[in-house]
Structure 1
Amino acid sequence: MNEKFMAFMENKMMPIMAKVSANRYLNSIKDAFVLATPFIIIGSFALLLFNLPLQDPNNFLYFKPYDNFVKAFASDYLQIHAVSMGLMSLYVAFGVGFSLAGYYNSDKVTNGLLSLYAFLLVSAKSLATTIVGAASNLLFVEEETSIAILDGRYMDAKGLFVAIIVGILSVEISRFLVNKKLTIKLPDSVPPAISKSFEILIPVAVISIVFQIINVIIQKNMLVMLPDLIMVIFQPLLNLSDGLVSIIIILFLIHILWFCGLHGANIINPVVMVISMTNLAINQQALANGEAIPKILAGEFMNNFVYFGGSGSTLGFCIALLMVKNAHLKSIGKLAIIPGCFNINEPIMFGVPIVMNPIFAIPFILTPIINAIISYTFMKLNIVGKVVALTPWTTPPALGGFMASNLNFAAPILVICLIILDYIIYKPFLNMYIKELEKEETKS
């Protein structure tokens, strides 16, 4: 049975997944989020800094100096959140174009700006408005001053889907025109910087016309903006994705791929990141408004509450390795324990190994699913706080859960309990593997 399964995975599934892993569009989306992540993390913690659960006088955690601090500084310094999380789609739009251009050996910066331009064209209506009241003081202008503004409603996570779609299309249109020589070519004597700016003129003009026509048709006939229309189309996906069944399917796919030697997270995460970042923005808006936090699959939910030690939740397994008598496996445990505390588990994946090892297939695939079921249930019952801040994926598990859930004390307790459970799940399979190794040593 094991041999048939392994043969099926090697001959049928791995070639397909290898192609998916190499897909330029998925990789461009992944790269875009990597570029945006530092800004999103800082923006998340700026919001968190002014929304800690220390302001309610009826709560035993109430801390008056903190309450005064928030009232004095929140209105000024939440600007950090507004131009990071609040402009997430801008960074992603640029990142998609920048990364995708690299696969075509095109100018990355030019295509990144082209993608950003196309996104703003369909997502940010411009208008003039008269400033009155408190807004005049905030913007340092006199009352009744008329200023030009861009609609920023879709520059946060609500514009992510359209940022990705438009970013890809703009690069493909530009590439098509360049390949067909539909560009302005200046003599070689012209400086390269000037020549390059003229070469992109026709693609910019075509993209302007194409997207603006689409824009006008949608606005005049449907009375909505393009991001609204895209969100309506993808809303069922967002609703389904936050369900336990969807999370289990995602985890199953990631770990099947990992077991076959492919980086499952890198293959699946481009899609998951769009969903989790959109949900994170929804949670942060709820936090800022003092509302109940609605979404579970948000931000780094997987790294904070599922992947303790990396894919497969191998930190518990790593602890088990430290306790065995087998010298080889114990040495791997010693080598892997520090990286494992930061969610890096390649020493275990390829050192034990777990990859392509039938004995560890069951715990490797099922352990993160069990963690997800328990974490999801506790969050659904509001026993553990949901994710409202983006932490670096290398943040140690208990600390990551504590920070991501707005300093919810139940979160690290849950994480520690789950790591112990993971140890218990992996232990009998590790004992089985040790016996197999001893048999092989006896034969030799």
Structure 2
Amino acid sequence: MIGSIFLILYVLGSPDVGTSGKPLIGFLAPWATKFSWMNSLTMNMMSLYCAVAIPYHYGQKKKMNTLTCSLLGLATFLIFTINGYDEAGGILVTAFSATGLFVCIITSIIGVQILRFFLDRNITIKMLDSVPPNVGNAFGALLPFATIFSLAWIIRTIMNFDMVSWLNTILEPIITSSDSLWMAMFVTFVCLLLWSVGLHGDNMFLALFTPFGLMWVDQNASALADGVSKYDLPNILAGLGNTGLIRLTVWTAAVWPLLFLMIISKKKQFRTIGFTALAPGIFTIVEPVIYGLPIALNPYLMIPFILSGTISSGIGYLLMSTSFFGKFYAVVPWATPPFLLGPLGTGDVKTALIPIISFAVGMVIYLPFWKVYNQSIDAEEQQKLEEASAAEMIQPNEA
């Protein structure tokens, strides 16, 4: 996110971005190159940082020493980035960007698993009890570390197997074809389906696409830095999983119309929920509506909830695929209100129109279902009144 801020500053101060030949903010021009350096040291070092974070959390889940796992993951990843064609043994820093993310994930998981194999079977160098624990732990890690590093070195240096290039070549058709209208709608549909049965769709499913989304953001950012217009960037679903088009459209269509309908409702319980959930809803924190109204397991609202978000994501994709709207090149916090998310992530103020369109789509879909839902509640309340009246009539007769 910090790197994205510097990228936005670079865009504002660089005369190379756009066709005017002049920076949007003149006084930032002398600093434009320096802003791009900060972007390179943050966004373009994503895999390097993940090489520390992923094994840390994976080791934590396995109840292992997290510092040991982090150091192991970082060193193993660095070994796999050695330039096999460079006699000096230089490191390919290009692999530190999102292009090395899949290798980082694989090496982190396998490295921690091998370390755990050694520790579970006590295949370590044991020191005397009188040796300080820190020294003993260092010697205890020698065998697993030596094994993992040797395997990585043999694969990368002796076999000259460039896993980064190989994986990117294998996955390129999948990654390229995944940035499509049908993928946008499919991902949205599954996420909303999970939410509608009470499960956290973003954490359970959408998060699986984070590596793809980060790679697309990185590619868009690189293209922008090379002078490509923000309207012609290659990836439309950039940021998928964290930010981007899905965040821009889904909740404005699937939740915001319900907030509006509840606030203007004549029913006190709806107005109470609507006003309570309004502030979180603006920041796309939707749990108060999904579980408070509820939408989850609600046969009247589940269908429009899924339809509105899915259709709006498809419409949003078609709109952003045109040259009228800019594409995402910066990572913006997921809780950013959609009307700010688009302009901040794309540098294009016009993207604020997409949430408005999504809201209108959601409203059209929700209205007939909302009417039926209200009628069902009225019928239930009437039935309860009749049952209460009948009970009151029976009690005096019994007396």
Tell me if TM exceeds 0.5.
Answer: yes
TM superposition shift of 1:59: 6.5
- 1:153 is paired with a residue whose SS is helix
Counterparts of 1:199 and 1:206, CA distance in 2: 13
Counterparts of 1:183 and 1:227, CA distance in 2: 31
Counterpart in the other structure of 1:211: 152
Could you report, residue by residue, the CA deviation over 1:148-207 in whole angstroms, capped at 9, with x for unpaired residues? 853201100100111101110000010011111111222333222222222211111000
**AA aligned opposite 1:88:** M
Q: For the aligned residues, what is the CA RMSD? A: 2.2
Counterpart in the other structure of 1:4: none
Counterpart in the other structure of 2:53: 95
Counterpart in the other structure of 1:151: 92
Question: Do the aligned partners of 1:321 and 1:329 also contact (CA within 8 Å) in 2?
Answer: yes
Structure 2 unaligned blocks of 5 or more: 385-399
Counterparts of 1:261 and 1:61, CA distance in 2: 52
Counterpart in the other structure of 1:16: none
**AA aligned opposite 2:3:** G
Counterparts of 2:287 and 2:80, CA distance in 1: 43
Alpha-carbon spacing, 1:119–1:439, altered in 2? closer, same or farther (3 Å): same
Which of these residues, 391, 405, 421, is aligned with residue 346 of structure 2?
Answer: 405
1:421 and 2:381 are equivalent in the alignment: no
Question: Do the aligned partners of 2:59 and 2:65 also contact (CA within 8 Å) in 1?
Answer: yes
Counterpart in the other structure of 1:171: 112
Residue identity (%): 30
Counterparts of 1:215 and 1:62, CA distance in 2: 46
1:249 and 2:209 are equivalent in the alignment: no
1:380 and 2:321 are equivalent in the alignment: yes
Counterpart in the other structure of 1:141: none
Counterpart in the other structure of 1:395: 336
Counterpart in the other structure of 2:34: 76
Alpha-carbon spacing, 1:415–1:107, altered in 2? closer, same or farther (3 Å): same
Which of these residues, 199, 219, 228, is aligned with residue 262 of structure 1?
Answer: 199
Question: Do the aligned partners of 2:83 and 2:92 also contact (CA within 8 Å) in 1?
Answer: yes
1:227 and 2:167 are equivalent in the alignment: no
Residues matched between the structures, number: 377
TM superposition shift of 1:269: 2.8
Counterpart in the other structure of 2:299: 358
TM superposition shift of 1:242: 0.3
Alpha-carbon spacing, 1:161–1:377, altered in 2? closer, same or farther (3 Å): same
Which of these residues, 358, 361, 374, is aligned with residue 434 of structure 1?
Answer: 374
TM superposition shift of 1:56: 7.3
Counterparts of 2:150 and 2:255, CA distance in 1: 52
Counterpart in the other structure of 1:27: none
Question: Do the aligned partners of 2:249 and 2:354 also contact (CA within 8 Å) in 1?
Answer: no
TM superposition shift of 1:302: 4.0
Question: Do the aligned partners of 1:121 and 1:211 also contact (CA within 8 Å) in 2?
Answer: yes
Counterparts of 1:93 and 1:58, CA distance in 2: 35
TM superposition shift of 1:57: 11
Which of these residues, 186, 190, 193, is aligned with residue 134 of structure 2?
Answer: 193
TM superposition shift of 1:74: 2.2
Larger Rg: 2
Alpha-carbon spacing, 1:431–1:383, altered in 2? closer, same or farther (3 Å): same
Structure 1 unaligned blocks of 5 or more: 1-40, 130-147
Which of these residues, 308, 325, 335, is aligned with residue 367 of structure 1?
Answer: 308
Counterparts of 2:17 and 2:6, CA distance in 1: 23
Counterparts of 2:366 and 2:70, CA distance in 1: 46
1:47 and 2:3 are equivalent in the alignment: no
Question: TM-score w.r.t. structure 1 length?
Answer: 0.80
